[in-house]
Amino acid sequence: MNKQSEPSHLPTLEAVITAFDDRRDWVVSTNGSKLRCEYGLLALVPLLVEALPKIRNATGRMHIMFDFIPLARRDTRVVEAARDRLQDRSKAVRMHACEVLAYSLRHDAVPSLEPLLHHPIAETRANAVAAIDAIQHQNHHFYLDREHKGTSFWVVNPQDDPAYKPRPWQIRQESQ
C-alpha cells in the first residue's frame, strides 16, 4: 500500500483496464476502491480517461464515470471523457456522463447533450434534458430537482449542501 511519505508509481494502463473490465459489480467496485486508495483519484484521471474506451464491460465504465462526478468542475479531462461517453452503448454510462456534464455547469457542454434529445431511449432523453436545464440555470441541483421545487439537493461535495456549515477543524485547515 501507498505510504504518505513515499510517492507511488502509477499502475499501467493494462492494469487499470483489467481492474475495471469485469461484469461483476463487486469486483469492479473493490478494484476501483483499491486503486483510489493506493494512488488517489486525481492521479488516476489520465489513466482512467485513456482506459474508458478500451473497457468492454459497461460496469467498469459506469464506475469510472460515477467517480468522475466530483471532479467535473476541476478537471477538463473529466468533462471531455463525459462528452465521449454520451454515445456509450450502456444507458447507465450515458446517465453518469450526463451527470458529470450537469455538475460541471459548463455552457460549452450543451451542444454535446443536444443530440441525446432525440435518443430512442426515453430515460436518456430525460437525463439530457435535465443536464441541459441544470447548465442553463447554473444550478446542478436541478439535475435531480427536475420540477424546480427546491426540495431535492444533489450533494456531491459538502459545499453543495445549502445547510452546510464547516466544522471548526475544516475552517482552520482552509485558512492555512
Q: Any idea where the domains of the chain sit in the sequence?
A: 13-175
Query: Which of the residue ranges 17-31, 64-78, 102-116, 162-176 would you say has the lowest mean pLDDT?
Result: 162-176
Average pLDDT rounded to a whole number, residues 165-170: 72
144, 152 in Cβ contact below 8 A? Answer: yes
Write down the residue that cell numbers 489520465 correspond to: 46
What's the pLDDT band for 172 if we cut at 50, 70, 90?
A: low
- 57 pLDDT above the threshold of 60: yes
C-alpha cell at 85: 461517453
C-alpha cell at 96: 453518469
140, 105 in Cβ contact below 8 A? Answer: yes
What confidence score (pLDDT) does residue 2 get? 46
- 170 pLDDT above the threshold of 80: no
What confidence score (pLDDT) does residue 5 get? 39
- 90 pLDDT above the threshold of 90: yes
48, 13 in Cβ contact below 8 A? Answer: no
- The 3-state DSSP class for residue 147 equals coil
Task: Tell me, yes or no, if the pTM score tops 0.75.
Answer: yes
**How far is it, in rounded angstroms, from Cα 93 to Cα 8?**
30
**Among residues 65, 40, 47, 45, which one has the least CA distance to residue 11?**
47
Q: Which CATH architecture has domain 13-175?
A: Alpha Horseshoe (1.25)
| % residues pLDDT > 90 (the chain) | 76
